[in-house]
């Protein structure tokens, strides 16, 4: 069966068909996700947790379009799983894009854990900071203040903190000396 021309039912059937290679399941799940077919949900969540970043990114894109109400909960579970931190970048970014009630608490929890000295997952931490900045959730203030002390996170954390205060940019600009 040519998956590029397959209809939704054929694509859904291929997700559980024995002997189907991963790339074929990925293509079927991606196409179903973009079409809003919730039969792709489980396969897309598995791909979101894959060790291959392009697979994770494609799954995140399809899950964002899919609109399944379970997506934020699944992304939060993946982002906060301490054993899978190396693969949490795309779930973190997806949480920020979804702007769901689970998003800010999961990003705060994940970032808090990643602020330990010499933590190797600074890219995931940076995605958390950027996501919290986009969400502008005041509950993130304390963890963003702590993130300012990390050299790779300081600029983004400062920008995110500015976004928590409406009108803060104009106050900062008015305090800067004129040239």
The pLDDT of residue 172 is above 90 = no
Instruction: List the one residue out of 7, 97, 113 whose CA is nearest residue 48.
Output: 97
Q: What is the DSSP string of 59-107?
A: HHHHHHHH--TTHHHHHHHHHH-GGGGGG-HHHHHHHHHHT-TTHHHHH
Q: Are 40 and 32 contacting, i.e. CB atoms less than 8 angstroms apart? A: yes
pLDDT at 50: 92
Q: In angstroms, rounded to a whole number, what is the distance separating the alpha carbons of residues 169 and 15?
A: 49
Dump pLDDT digits (tens) for 21-76.
999 999 999 999 999 999 999 999 999 999 999 999 999 999 999 999 999 999 99
Under 8 Å CB-to-CB from 1, ≥6 apart: which residues? 10, 14
pLDDT at 9: 86
| Beta-carbon count within 10 A of 159 CB | 14
Instruction: Categorize the per-residue pLDDT at 6 as very low, low, confident or very high, splitting at 50, 70 and 90.
Output: confident
Model confidence, pTM: 0.86
Under 8 Å CB-to-CB from 142, ≥6 apart: which residues? none
Q: Are 149 and 119 contacting, i.e. CB atoms less than 8 angstroms apart? A: no
The single-letter DSSP state of residue 7 is: -
């Amino acid at each position: 069966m040519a998956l590029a021309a397959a209809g939704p039912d054929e694509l859904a059937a291929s997700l559980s068909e024995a002997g189907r290679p991963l790339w074929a399941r990925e293509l079927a799940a991606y196409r179903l996700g973009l079409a809003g077919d919730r039969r792709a949900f489980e396969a897309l969540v598995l791909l979101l947790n894959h060790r291959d970043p392009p697979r994770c990114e494609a799954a995140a894109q399809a899950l964002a379009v899919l609109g399944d109400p379970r997506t934020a909960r699944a992304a939060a579970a993946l982002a906060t799983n301490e054993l899978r931190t190396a693969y949490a970048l795309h779930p973190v970014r997806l949480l920020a894009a979804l702007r769901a009630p689970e998003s800010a608490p999961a990003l705060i929890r994940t970032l808090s854990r990643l602020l330990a000295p010499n933590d190797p997952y600074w890219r995931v931490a940076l995605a958390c900071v950027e996501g919290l900045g986009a969400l502008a959730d005041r509950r993130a203030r304390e963890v963003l203040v702590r993130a300012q002390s990390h050299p790779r996170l300081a600029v983004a954390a400062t920008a995110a903190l500015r976004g928590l205060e409406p009108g803060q940019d104009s106050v900062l600009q008015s305090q800067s000396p004129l040239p």
